Structure formats: C-alpha cells, structure tokens
Amino acid sequence: MRAHLGDHLVIGSPATGSARRDGEIVGLHHEDGTPPYDVRWSDTHEVSLVFPGPDARVRPPGHGPDPGDIGRRVAAERERRGLSREETARRARMSPDYLAYLEEHPGDPSQATLVRLAGALDTSVRALRGGGADLPPGRGAALLHPELHDLAPQECRALLSTHGVGRVAVTTPEGPAVVPVNYEVVDDAIVFRTAPGSAPAAAVGSEVAFEVDHLDEAMSRGWSVLAVGPAREVTAPDEARRLAEGAHTLPWAGGERELWVSIRPARLTGRRITPAGR
C-alpha cells in the first residue's frame, strides 16, 4: 500500500464492501508512501496514527463515488455534529450500510427517510435539500457559556490540512480586498493560482494575511487560522508544473489561472470557540 498526502484511507465493511470509516491522510512517515499514516477521520476530525489492515484501501482525491447533493449535505451535517455513521443510522432508524450508500452515491430518498435523517441531525428537510444555501453562515445563537482558546502552531497546521478554500487579504489599487481562493499546502507553504492582474495577484511581493475557518452551525462552535507572511510568484517552470500536477482541484472560479502565488507563513495563529470547560 502506498499513498500521497491528501489521499483518503477507506476502511471497508467486510460484509458489504461499503465504506465503514474514512479519513484524509495528512501525514506520511516514509518517503515511499508506505504505512503508517496520520489520518484525519471524517466522522470525528481527530488525527490518529494508523497501521492499515486488510480491510483498508487508499482512494486518491476525486476517485471515489460521486454522491448526490442530498448525500453530500447529509455527510457534511453529520461530520459537523461529530456523529459516526453508525450513531446517525441508529438515530434515524435505518441501516448503516444504507446511510453509507446514500452518502456515497446519487439517490432520491423518500420524504419519510429525509424526515428521520433531519431529526437525527437536528436540522430540517429543507436544509438537507439545499434550502438556505445562499444565506451567510453563523446565523444561529451563541453558546450559553463560550470560551475562546488559542491554538498552537502544530494544531493550526493540522487544520490547514492539505488543501481547501481560504481568504487572502491584499492591498489593490482600488483599496483593501479580501478574496477567497482555492489553496494547497506544499512544503509548509500556502500556494494558490490566480490570473495576472487579478486582486489575489496583488499579493505578490508583499506581506499578506491568509485566513481559513470552519463553523459548526448546529453546535455554534468554530475555529479560525491566520497565516501572515511574504508572498512571491512561482516563476520556475518545473515548480509551477509540479504544483499544477499535484493540485487537488481546479480553481472553483474557473477560467485561465496560470499564476501561482506562494505564501511562506512567518506567523501562524489560530483560535477555537468551545463550550466552557471543554
């Protein structure tokens, strides 16, 4: 078994072959990609050292089943609440294998199934169907006794993970701007691609701030990571080619975006909101 950073480790069910548990490989211990791996589990978001058994397989990004929109929302809501598939299935009075199938494949579950899933996840059928997708996050009430904790640099790096969507703060001719970009983490640098002359391209040659965050809407919790450091244009053709070939996704905004920008964090800080005493 060999893996790359960003691959997923999938633990299968011996009876059905469906995924029983999966997580993103965020750390390698051998240069050739052989086990063990540091894995961030999708159901708990915790990172653990894993020695894969015979029921495990490595799945490259983008090579898994294509779930439908409802399945994606169910999985995302379940992960936000920190629930396993088994616990969610128990609450929804359904088979864990059916829930796994629903999360991993296109499907059209019945209204009764959606009602049970919404109840298990403390959300609404409308939300599972995509209602409210155009509303800004964070519209719920605050925790009764929230606490704000500083994060250590190591935890900040773990939360940055291998890729995602973050916001880069730059100064443009029109004034300050904060722009979302798809980013990758490569050799401890934050890299993203954009178009020459665009707002994100203004980062080149200056010190910039880059922010990533996540909100748990159901639990009114969240975290944010802020990286500050100099940004440079990636000019070496081999380096730019390597970044393009290793990217987990094309920019969501589409279009020609061939300018790679690299941010080397000089300061890495973060904060997390939790209930008091946690």
Span 74-121, pLDDT tens digits: 998 898 888 999 999 999 999 898 898 888 877 778 788 899 999 999
Closest of 176, 177, 201 to residue 251, by C-alpha:
201
Closest of 77, 17, 18, 19 to residue 9, by C-alpha:
19
pLDDT at 161 over 80: yes
Are 75 and 81 in contact, with CB atoms under 8 Å apart? no
Of residues 125 and 89, more confidently modeled: 89
Are 262 and 189 in contact, with CB atoms under 8 Å apart? yes
Lowest-pLDDT range of 68-72, 146-150, 227-231: 68-72
Mean pLDDT, range 136-162, rounded to an integer: 87
Q: Tokens 């997708």 map to which residue? A: 133
At 169, which amino acid appears?
Answer: A
Report the pLDDT value the prediction gives residue 102, as an integer from 0 to 100. 86
User: Which CATH number does 69-128 carry?
Assistant: 1.10.260.40
Report the pLDDT value the prediction gives residue 195, as an integer from 0 to 100. 95
Lowest-pLDDT range of 4-13, 82-91, 221-230: 4-13
Report the pLDDT value the prediction gives residue 43, as an integer from 0 to 100. 67
Report the pLDDT value the prediction gives residue 132, as an integer from 0 to 100. 64
pLDDT at 169 over 90: yes
For residue 36, say if its preceding peptide bond is cis, omega within 30 degrees of 0: yes
Whole-angstrom distance, CA of residue 138 vs CA of residue 115? 24
Average pLDDT, the chain: 87
Report the pLDDT value the prediction gives residue 16, as an integer from 0 to 100. 43
Q: What DSSP string describes 18-63?
A: -EEEEEEEEEESSTT-PSPEEEEETTT--EEEE---TTEEEE-TT-
Q: Tokens 């052989």 map to which residue? A: 34
Residue 218's DSSP bridge partners are: none
Lowest-pLDDT range of 15-24, 99-108, 171-180, 227-236: 15-24
**pLDDT tier, 183 (very low <50, low <70, confident <90, very high otherwise):** very high
Report the pLDDT value the prediction gives residue 17, as an integer from 0 to 100. 45
Question: pTM for the whole thing?
Answer: 0.60
Are 275 and 146 in contact, with CB atoms under 8 Å apart? yes
Q: How many residues does the chain have?
A: 278
Boundaries of every domain in the chain: 8-59, 69-128, 147-275
Mean pLDDT, range 178-184, rounded to an integer: 97
- Angle among Cα 193, 61, 55 to the nearest 5 degrees reads 160
Lowest-pLDDT range of 81-95, 126-140, 237-251, 259-273: 126-140
Fold (CATH) for 147-275: Pnp Oxidase; Chain A (2.30.110)
Tokens of 103: 């999360």
Residue 19's DSSP bridge partners are: 12
* pLDDT tens by residue, 17-75: 445 677 889 899 998 999 999 998 876 778 899 999 888 888 886 555 445 678 888 99
Report the pLDDT value the prediction gives residue 112, as an integer from 0 to 100. 86
Q: What are the residue ranges of helices labelled H in the chain?
A: 69-80, 85-92, 96-104, 111-120, 125-128, 153-160, 237-246
**pLDDT tier, 278 (very low <50, low <70, confident <90, very high otherwise):** low
At 177, which amino acid appears?
Answer: A
Mean pLDDT, range 127-149, rounded to an integer: 79
Q: Estimate to the nearest angstrom the gap between the alpha carbon of 93 and the chain centroid.
A: 28
